[in-house]
């Protein structure tokens, strides 16, 4: 179980983000709420970036993002080197994202998944570790792609 979570949402995910705080507290997981702080329209990349960069810097063990579909925030978070954000719409995908991909950020779909399921997805993600083994080679290749991209732009 991770110790610290960077938690963020856009306006579509705001209400579920607020509810997930209780879930995290019940699991004994510390979190920092990185916004948004209302259901007024905001730009999701701003909040995804803030949480993802904090995870990439090692200030947090993992990130938890909530937006309408989960996709926009995952795309934005994955632009941050060192982040492997996964969208999970059920518990099995959340487990596989951790076991096989060593995902360090989970992105959730507030508009399409009932809150009771979101809680189960979060719990599965947080309680699952990386399997390593054959998956480690593949995750290292993801890091190599990031490094190649960074050297091309330098």
Catalytic site positions? 67, 100
Contacts with 74 (C-beta within 8 Å, 6 or more apart), sequence order: 48, 65, 85, 86, 87, 105, 107
DSSP class of 129:
P
User: Considering only CA atoms, which of 53, 45, 96 is closest in space to residue 71?
Assistant: 45
User: In sequence order, what are the beta bridge partners of 33?
Assistant: 7
Residue with tokens 């518990």: 91
Residue 39: other Cβ atoms inside 10 A:
14
């Amino acid at each position: 179980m991770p110790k610290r979570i960077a938690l963020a949402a856009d306006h579509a995910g705001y209400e579920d983000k607020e509810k997930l705080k209780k879930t995290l507290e019940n699991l004994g997981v510390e979190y920092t709420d990185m916004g948004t702080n209302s259901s007024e329209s905001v730009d999701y990349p701003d909040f995804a970036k803030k949480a993802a960069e904090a995870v990439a810097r090692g200030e947090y063990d993992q990130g938890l993002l909530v937006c309408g579909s989960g996709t926009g925030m995952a795309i934005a978070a994955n632009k941050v080197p060192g982040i492997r954000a996964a969208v999970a719409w059920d518990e099995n995908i959340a487990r596989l994202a951790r076991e096989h991909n060593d995902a360090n950020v989970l992105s959730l779909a507030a508009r399409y998944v009932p809150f009771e399921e979101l809680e189960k997805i979060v719990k599965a993600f947080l309680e699952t570790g990386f399997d390593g083994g054959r998956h480690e080679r593949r995750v290292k290749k993801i890091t190599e792609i990031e490094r190649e991209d960074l050297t091309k732009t330098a």
